[in-house]
Structure 1
Amino acid sequence: MGLLAGSTVLLLTIIWGTCVIVGKCDLVNSVALDSVDTRRYSLTGSGVSTDIWTSYAARIMIISVLLFLILQLPQLLHSSSGRHLAVLIALIVSLLLLASYYF
C-alpha cells in the first residue's frame, strides 16, 4: 500500500506540477491561449485549461483518496477486528471507482 500511495503522490505532485509550470499559457476568460506566455509568473493571468473529461477523471482520482482513509480508520481507532472489514469495504469501493473510471 505504501508503494501505491508513494507512486500516486509522486505522479500527482512532481510530474503533474512540472507539466503545469512548463505548459502554462496566458488565460483569457478562463481559456488558455496556445503558445502565448507573456505573463511569466502570474498566478491569476496564466495557467492551463482542460477539457471536461479531464475534470471528470480528476474528480474520480480525488474520491479515490478516500480509500486510504477507509483503510487507516481501524488503525486510528486501534481496532484489530475492524481491519478485515475495512479492507473489504475499500476493495468494493475501489472496484466501483475503477468501473466508473472506465465508463
Structure 2
Amino acid sequence: MITLKEKIGYGLGDAASSMFWKIFGMYSLFFYTDVFGITAAAAGTMFLIARLWDSLTDLLVGIMSDRTRTRWGKYRPYLIWFAIPFAVMGVITFYVPDFGQTGKLV
C-alpha cells in the first residue's frame, strides 16, 4: 500500500515540471500574439496543429523507447542525445525574426 507521504512526495516531485509547462503555455500565447505579431486565429491554429502532431509523435516515441535496449538503459540515451537540440529549440521558440506573417508561421 502506498502511504500518504509517498503520494505527497510523488505529487510534489512533478509539481515543478507541471508549473513550468503551464507557465510556458500561458506565456507562449501572449508572446506569439503580442510580441511575435501573429493574429490570435493563426496562433490558435498553430497550437492545434502542434497538439495533433504531438499526439502522433507521442505514440511513435513511446513505441521506440519501449523497444530501446542499451547498456545505458532505456531512456538515458534519449535524455543525453536530445538535451542540446531541446535547448536550441527552446531558444528558437522565443526568437523574433524579421519576417512577414507567413514566414513567422512557417
Question: Under a length normalisation based on structure 2, what TM-score does the superposition of the two structures give?
Answer: 0.33
Q: Which has the higher contact order (CA 8 A, sep 6+)?
A: 2
More helix by share: 2
Question: Under a length normalisation based on structure 1, what TM-score does the superposition of the two structures give?
Answer: 0.34
More strand by share: 1
